[in-house]
C-alpha cells in the first residue's frame, strides 16, 4: 500500500491553489455544515478504516480523492461539493460520506424532555455522524464474513472519533438508479484503466498526480460486475410504480420484486449486527401529523415498497444522551410525559418496518377515529 496523506501540504487545495478554508470548506460548511474540525475527524477516521482493512484510495492525497456532487440549489448552486470517500480492495468497495442526506436523529418533532419542556438537539446530524453510502462485496467474496469485519472495524473507529453511523440498506445489484450510476462509472473507469495500460505517458502523469491505478482497476471490475448482474436479471417489464403519489400527484419511484427480496435480506443482516431503525421515519410521521392537524393535508398514507431501509448504529456515548428524552407515542402522535422511552420507541419502529405495518402509524388519532 502507498502512503496516504490526509490533507494537502499546508492545507493548499490543488484545485484552487489556495487554503482549503478559503475555497472548498466554505461550500462544505454551507451545504453540509462540515466544519474544519469535523473534516479532520472524518479524515482520520476514514484513513484508519482504510489501513486496518488494507484498502486503496483513488489518490495518494485523500483530499484530492474526495468524491464530488453538484449542488442543486442555494448560494452555491452549480458548484461542486466534496462529500465523501471511496475505498476499494480485492473483495469490494465502500463509500463513506461526511454527513447523512436524511436526518437520522430524533428532532423536536418527535420528542420532549421527561418534564415536557422543549429540548435543543443533543445529537447533531452534521457533527456527530458519518454515512455509509454504499458497501459492495464482490461475488467471489460473498459469504466469507468480510462484510461483518468491515462493519465491526467501522464501529470501532466511530467510537474512537465519536461518530454514530447512518446508512440506507437495500439492493445494489437490482436497483435501477445504482445500475445507471455504475454504468457511467464503469465507462469512466474503463477509460482510465485502458490509458494506464496502453499509454505509458498517461500512466506516468497519473501516478505523478497521485492517482492509484489499482483503485481504478478494482472499481472498474466491481462496477462492471454490478452492470452485468443487473442486465442478466432485470427487465423493464418487471418494474412497478410506487403505491403512493408525490405531493404533485405523480408517481415518482419504481421498484421490482428481486430488488425488494434482496433488500429485505440485507435489512435483516444489518439488524443482526446492532443497527436500529432510523429516527428519520419518526420525524417524517411527526411532520405528517402536524400537516394534518394544520389542515395542509386531508389524509396520508405511508408505505414500505422498495426494500430500502434507513438504519442507524448509535455510538454508546450518544445513547447516553438519547435515553434522557421522551419520545412521541406513534399510535396517538402525542408528545410529552405520556410518550415512550428510547428503547420501546426503537422496538415499535422496528415492528412497523419489519412487518410493513405503517397502518399502525397514527391509528389512534382523529383521522382514524372519525372514519
Residues 220 and 123 in one domain: no
198 in the same domain as 301: no
Identify whether residues 261 and 329 lie together within a single domain.
yes
Q: Structural domain tally of the chain?
A: 3
The answer to whether 85 and 62 are in contact (CB under 8 A) is: yes
pLDDT of residue 106: 83
Q: How many CB atoms lie within 10 A of CB 290?
A: 12
* Whether residue 116 is found in the same domain as residue 3: no
pLDDT on residue 247: 43
User: Does residue 326 share a domain with residue 306?
Assistant: yes
Is residue 168 one of the residues assigned to a domain?
no
- Do residues 221 and 266 share a domain? no
Q: What was the pLDDT predicted at 246?
A: 46
> pLDDT at position 371, please?
35
- Asked if residue 170 is part of any domain, the answer here is no
Residue 169 lies in a domain: no
Domain endpoint, select from 190, 217, 232 = 232
4 and 135 together in one domain: yes
* Domain around 181: 175-232
* Bridge partners, residue 135, by sequence: 94
Could you tell me if 357 and 227 lie in one domain?
no
Residues 73 and 112 in one domain: no
How far apart are alpha carbons 371 and 299 in whole angstroms? Answer: 11
The answer to whether residue 323 sits within a structural domain is: yes
Q: Is residue 167 part of a domain?
A: no
- Inside any domain, residue 274: yes
Q: What is the pLDDT along the chain (371 residues), one digit of tens a residue?
A: 456 677 777 788 877 888 888 888 888 888 778 888 999 999 999 999 999 999 999 888 888 878 777 667 777 677 767 788 999 999 999 999 999 988 898 876 555 544 445 555 678 888 899 999 999 999 999 999 999 999 999 999 999 999 999 999 999 999 999 999 888 887 766 666 666 666 667 677 777 677 888 898 899 999 999 999 999 999 999 988 776 554 444 445 788 999 999 999 999 999 999 999 999 888 887 777 777 777 777 666 666 678 899 999 999 999 998 988 878 788 877 765 566 788 999 999 999 999 888 788 878 776 554 43
182-186, long-range: CB within 8 Å, 24+ apart, which pairs?
182/223, 182/226, 182/227, 182/230, 183/223, 183/227, 185/219, 185/223, 186/220, 186/223, 186/224, 186/226, 186/227
Give yes or no: residues 239 and 346 share one domain.
Answer: yes
Cβ atoms of 69 and 85 within 8 Å: the answer is no
CB proximity list for 126: less than 8 A, separation 6 or greater: 32, 33, 34, 38, 99
Q: Are residues 214 and 258 in the same domain?
A: no
> Helix/strand/coil (H, E, C) string of 87-129?
EEECCEEEEEECCCCCCCCCCCCCEEECCCCCCCCCCCCCCCE
Clarify whether residues 266 and 221 are in a common domain.
no
Amino acid at each position: 500500500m502507498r502512503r496516504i496523506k490526509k490533507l494537502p501540504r499546508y492545507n493548499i487545495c490543488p484545485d484552487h491553489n489556495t487554503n482549503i478554508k478559503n475555497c472548498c470548506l466554505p461550500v462544505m460548511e454551507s451545504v453540509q455544515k462540515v466544519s474544519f474540525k469535523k473534516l479532520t475527524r472524518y479524515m482520520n477516521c476514514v484513513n484508519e478504516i482504510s489501513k486496518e482493512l488494507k484498502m486503496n484510495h483513488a489518490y495518494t492525497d485523500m483530499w484530492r480523492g474526495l468524491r464530488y456532487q453538484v449542488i442543486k440549489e442555494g448560494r452555491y448552486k452549480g458548484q461542486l461539493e466534496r462529500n465523501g470517500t471511496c475505498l476499494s480492495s480485492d473483495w469490494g468497495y465502500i463509500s463513506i460520506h461526511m454527513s447523512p442526506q436524511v436526518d437520522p436523529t430524533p428532532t423536536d418533532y418527535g420528542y420532549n424532555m421527561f418534564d415536557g419542556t422543549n429540548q435543543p438537539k443533543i445529537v447533531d446530524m452534521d457533527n456527530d455522524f458519518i454515512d455509509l453510502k454504499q458497501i459492495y462485496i464482490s461475488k467471489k467474496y460473498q459469504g466469507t464474513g468480510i462484510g461483518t469485519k468491515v462493519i465491526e472495524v467501522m464501529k470501532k473507529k466511530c467510537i474512537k472519533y465519536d461518530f454514530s453511523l447512518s446508512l440506507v440498506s437495500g439492493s445494489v445489484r437490482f436497483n435501477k438508479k445504482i445500475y445507471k450510476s455504475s454504468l457511467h462509472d464503469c465507462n469512466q473507469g474503463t477509460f482510465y484503466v485502458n490509458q494506464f495500460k496502453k499509454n505509458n505517458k498517461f500512466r506516468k502523469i497519473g501516478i505523478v498526480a497521485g492517482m492509484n491505478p489499482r483503485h481504478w482497476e478494482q472499481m472498474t471490475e466491481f462496477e462492471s460486475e454490478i452492470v452485468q448482474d443487473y442486465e442478466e436479471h432485470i427487465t423493464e417489464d418487471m418494474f412497478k410504480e410506487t403505491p403512493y403519489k408525490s405531493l404533485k400527484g405523480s408517481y415518482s419511484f419504481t421498484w421490482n420484486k428481486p430488488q425488494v427480496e434482496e433488500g429485505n435480506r440485507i435489512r435483516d443482516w444489518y439488524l443482526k449486527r446492532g443497527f436500529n431503525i432510523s429516527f428519520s421515519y419518526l420525524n417524517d410521521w411527526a411532520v405528517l401529523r402536524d400537516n394534518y392537524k394544520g389542515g395542509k393535508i386531508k389524509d396520508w398514507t405511508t408505505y414500505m415498497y422498495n426494500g430500502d431501509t434507513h438504519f442507524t448504529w448509535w455510538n454508546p456515548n450518544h445513547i447516553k444522551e438519547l435515553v434522557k428524552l421522551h419520545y412521541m407515542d406513534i399510535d396517538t402522535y402525542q408528545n410529552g410525559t405520556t410518550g415512550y422511552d428510547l428503547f420501546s420507541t426503537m422496538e415499535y419502529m422496528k415492528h412497523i418496518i419489519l412487518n410493513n405495518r405503517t397502518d399502525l402509524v397514527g391509528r389512534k388519532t382523529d383521522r382514524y377515529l372519525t372514519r
